[in-house]
Each structure stands twice: as C-alpha cells, then as structure tokens.
Structure 1
C-alpha cells in the first residue's frame, strides 16, 4: 500500500520539486498539501502550491496555514527563492481551488479520521503548522506513523553558523515537534547538501521535455545562480525532496538514532538543532538524523516522478 502523507511546505523552489516527487511517485499517496510562511510570505507560497499542484495534477486538498512563527518575526528567503518564491520562472496557471479550511484543521481532520499509524507528516518548511496541530490536539502524536522533516543541521547551518533556515524561522515550533514523543527523522543539511543538481542532472531533466521539465529547469537554473552568487556551492542542493524520498524509499539514505533538541535561548546558537552523538542511542530514542545519501538513487526517484507527471500531462 502507498504511504499516506501530508506535505507541509513553503514553495519555494525545492518545495515545488518535492510536490512533484510526491505526486509523481506511486509509493506515496498525497492526502493534503498545507502551506506555511517561510521561503516567501504565505500568500505567495500558497499561490505557488496551487500553481505547481495544478501542473502536477494534484487532486488532494491544498490549504493555507500559519503566516507567522509562534514568537519570531516573519523572515523569508527571497534572496534564494526570488520575489515570487519560484525564482525567475512564471508560475503555471492555477486551475484548482484553495481549500477553505485552515491548514491545521486539515492536518488534524486528516490524521484523526484515519486509522492510527497510517499517516506520515512530511514538513519541509518552518514547523509552525505542525506545532499548532500538536498543541490543539495532542492525540495526533500517538496516531501519526512518523514525522519526516526537512530542516536542521548537525555540523553547520545556513541561516546562521549553526542554525538551518526552517528551524531558525520558528525554533519554538521546532522544539515542540522534535520533543513531542512521536518518531521523528530529521533530514538536515548534512544530508541534503549531498543532493546537488549537477550538469548531468540538468541534462536528464531536459530529456523529460514538456511543461514539467521546463518549470523544473527554470527553477533549478535560478537556484544554481543564487548558490553560485553566494559562493557556497557550484551546484544547488535540492533539500526538500530528500524528505519525500526517504518516505518513498528509506534505503535512499542512512540514518542514526540520536537524542535531539532545539536551542531556544543561546545568544549565538538560537535555532540550532543539537543532536547528542556522544554515545549510541538505544531503541527508546524516537528521533533520528539522516547522514548519507545515495545520490544516484535519489535522482532516479526524482526523474522517474518527472517522467510520470509528463506522461500524465500529455495523455
């Protein structure tokens, strides 16, 4: 049976590819797409989710959620994702409606209406919606199968020397999520920086052809330029699809158990994800961190999904 997932996102260039991967892979069933302010303001990321969802043929509900963190002022990543959130490309036309419910209501109603242990949460933006859902209805913790989040870093951040963007946007929400007691796998920068879109990847995407490939290439070209301008990497890492890939095929990466906390009070370390790696964690530890990626296997998943979506669009 396909893994049932709720994708909580802030599209965002790599979020857009994550949506297409989730919709294009038969091993997952996309139950809902929920949005949160992050890479751009809520209105923009929600429009992008509707636009990408329209192109990819997403039929699951798409609902807007929190536009601001629990305590922090809103911050975005427009310097990386552009003013629209999708770089320099023109978003596809929106051909579907926004669900009128708040994202937190969609999350709660979806989880509580299904059998325990059947829904996986895949948050790939700031964790505000997920934290609000836990606070409103704590029973979801025992009903969710697992949480696979894109965020955090063990050995260095991108928003600060130690904090990754998604966690730094709303550290209080992140701490609520990682300490709630459900199984959590943190797919952080240590892993996602191994998912770089090289020139070979660009060539493989171009071979797909059609609007799906055109959108993906346009977004990745903008993303590549942003990374090169920053002097950090020559090839853009596709962070968010890594979390979806782990749900589809856990063998695409290695993980290890590690107690995990989010630093909330450090003057220089607020938003840091602190993984205790001093000793091997026993089976009672419910948090894991992703370590190594099989990059070829990862890109095969992405390309397979793009081919499927392109074929569906042309049928």
Structure 2
C-alpha cells in the first residue's frame, strides 16, 4: 500500500497498533517509521522507564510525534520502575534519551490516564468491536505485565505482541548473557512470555543482522529532507557503535525499527518457533532469554523467534518511508 505525499499517513483499513516504548534513539526511528506507514493505525504511544526515566521517555515520545506532524497521537506515561529489580538505565542514548538530538518543547503535556488504564480502555473496545490490537514493545515490558496481572480477561483483545528484546544465540549487549530490555525488567518479561499471547521476538540475533553501516546510513539519508530528515541524520550518526570487533562492521544495530518493519514487510523475516523462558533469579544470568529449540522442556513452543533478516530490504523500506516526510513537507 502506498500513499501520495499529501495523503493521510493512516487509513480506516489500517492495522491498529499501540507502541509501548522508552525513547530512546532507535525507538525514535521506529516511531517515525510507523507514523509514515499507512498500513498502520497507531492508536497510541505508551511509555515506560527504561533507557531513561518515564518522565523523559514520555516527553521524548511527545516530541517525536510532533516532529512527525502527528501531535494528535495520544501519549500515555506508564510505570516508573521495574516490578522487582532496581532500574538500570540505558548506556547509549545519552542523558536525554535521544543522544545529541535537540527538539522543541512539546506543545502538549502528558495527560491521564496511566498507560495501563489506557490499555484496559482500548482492549475493552477492541473486544467489543472484535478487532484486536497489535502491541509493539520496544522497551522493558513492565506496562504489559501489569496489564496482564490486573486484567487477564483482556488477553483475547491482543492479536499479537511484537517485541524487541532478548538474545538467544547472540551474546547479551548489557551483560554476558542478557539484552537490555529483558534485563531491565526480567520479571515482567517472564509474565508476558508465559501469557499465552502470540509473540514475535526480535532479539539481538535478528537486530545484529540489520547494522546501519556508514554505507546503509548514507543510502537512507539520500532521500531525506526537512526537520525529520535532519533529525534522522543526527540519530544515525550518534548510533554508530564503531565496534567492528563485536558487530563485524561500523554502525549500530537497528533494534526497534525492525519491529515495525516486521509488521509492514513480514516477507523480509524468517522465524522459528520455540519455547522461551526468562531467567529472573540468577545473579549471573539475570535477564537471559533461553530458547528451547528442540523440545527438551516438554512445553509447547510459545514464541516465533526471528532468525534471519533481509537487511538490504529493511533499509530500503526504512529509506522509502522516512523520505515521505520530506515529500509531504514539500507538497
């Protein structure tokens, strides 16, 4: 599905989604990708403490929605800390969460209700309309876990969760075994993964295949213009890890945007089913996601784990969609 530069970036036939996030450099690019895609109807953005505190992630979400020309997208602040463990904070996003990117003050402020209350409202409506919601989780799963604890009857209102988090074959990016989003609230992740909801997991195994190398970043930037283009250029430049020993090249892995791309272009991804367990009691392996690939646990597979990514296809999609902002501003 495509849209002319002046067409609205969503339509009545779009897939309804909610983005639960902790913006975050790569969260910001993911939100911009979603809001540029008419196939998706972003019903709201919910925020959680993760890369930075929830006050800052909420402000960042408001600023990104305004940058995208979508101040109508509601933003709801969620949980201010993990369920059990102490907050750990992100390492690569800077004090603001958006690296060196400076955006104007948002024209709106966060309003009630709490993110979990918003989930209850939208899922009750989804059940009444028999049109379930897809949840895209780009940060710690605290909000979703609280929702599942207080209103498990609303699970049928969730079509699927697409989650950026975990590490199965790859080593962790925050500890030897664990990826940041899961480590930040392993108890919440355990609740979500054991909920019975259909889940697609985009872990480091997938995201490390989608490196924004200098060549790919330059190709994406060629079609960009206007304030969104300038912001994306700043974000991509900041995201270069400059660690070829770890990643095989310069650049940074496009973690969160892959979640949105998996909705838009599922043919770019290969998955494998497995039972997933989350370690939440070991000091050494806290936050580790363990995949039972061969049925050793005797439990039914519960997650579609992304194992392969067409990286060139993904970056082509990213560049094409982000370029729409410049086209719209020029029209």
Q: Tell me by how many angstroms 1:243 deviates.
A: 0.9
Aligned with 2:100 (options 63, 83, 88): 88
Q: In 2, distance between residues paired with 1:310 and 1:68?
A: 37
Change (3 A) 1:288 1:38: same
Q: Is the 8 A contact 2:275 2:299 kept in 1?
A: no
The residue matched to 1:259 in structure 2 has which SS?
strand
Q: In 2, distance between residues paired with 1:161 and 1:145?
A: 33
**Residue deviations 1:42-81 (CA, integer Å, cap 9, x gap):** 111111111111011232211110110001111111x300
Q: Does 1:14 align with 2:26?
A: yes
The residue number in structure 2 matching 1:62 is: 75
Q: Tell me by how many angstroms 1:279 deviates.
A: 4.5
Change (3 A) 1:280 1:209: farther
Q: Does 1:34 align with 2:46?
A: yes
Q: Where has structure 1 moved over 6 Å in runs of 4 or more?
A: 280-283
Q: TM-score, normalised by structure 2?
A: 0.89
Q: Which moved more, 1:186-195 or 1:281-290?
A: 281-290
Q: Tell me by how many angstroms 1:284 deviates.
A: 5.7
Q: Tell me by how many angstroms 1:103 deviates.
A: 0.8
Aligned with 2:294 (options 278, 283, 293): 278
Q: Does 1:134 align with 2:148?
A: yes
Q: Is the 8 A contact 1:3 1:247 kept in 2?
A: no
The residue number in structure 2 matching 1:204 is: 219
Q: TM-score, normalised by structure 1?
A: 0.94
The residue number in structure 2 matching 1:190 is: 205
Q: Is the 8 A contact 2:220 2:315 kept in 1?
A: no
Q: Is the 8 A contact 2:276 2:301 kept in 1?
A: no
Q: Tell me by how many angstroms 1:228 deviates.
A: 2.1
The residue matched to 2:163 in structure 1 has which SS?
strand
The residue number in structure 1 matching 2:189 is: 174
The residue matched to 2:272 in structure 1 has which SS?
strand
**Residue deviations 1:196-222 (CA, integer Å, cap 9, x gap):** 112222222332121111101111111
Q: Is the 8 A contact 2:46 2:75 kept in 1?
A: yes
Q: In 2, distance between residues paired with 1:254 and 1:282?
A: 24
Q: In 1, distance between residues paired with 2:131 and 2:197?
A: 11
Q: Which moved more, 1:180-189 or 1:248-257?
A: 248-257
Q: In 1, distance between residues paired with 2:21 and 2:14?
A: 20
Q: Which moved more, 1:118-127 or 1:200-209?
A: 200-209
Q: Tell me by how many angstroms 1:136 deviates.
A: 1.2
Aligned with 1:151 (options 149, 159, 165): 165
Change (3 A) 1:12 1:230: farther
Q: In 1, distance between residues paired with 2:188 and 2:268?
A: 28
**Residue deviations 1:166-214 (CA, integer Å, cap 9, x gap):** 0000000000000001101111000001111122222223321211111
The residue matched to 2:242 in structure 1 has which SS?
helix
Task: Give unmatched runs, 5+ long, in structure 1.
Answer: none
The residue matched to 2:135 in structure 1 has which SS?
strand
What's the Cα RMSD here? 2.0
The residue matched to 2:183 in structure 1 has which SS?
helix
The residue number in structure 2 matching 1:160 is: 175
The residue number in structure 2 matching 1:71 is: 84
Q: Kindly tell me the number of residue pairs found equivalent between the two proteins.
A: 312
Task: Give unmatched runs, 5+ long, in structure 2.
Answer: 1-12
Q: Tell me by how many angstroms 1:314 deviates.
A: 3.8
Q: In 2, distance between residues paired with 1:230 and 1:132?
A: 39
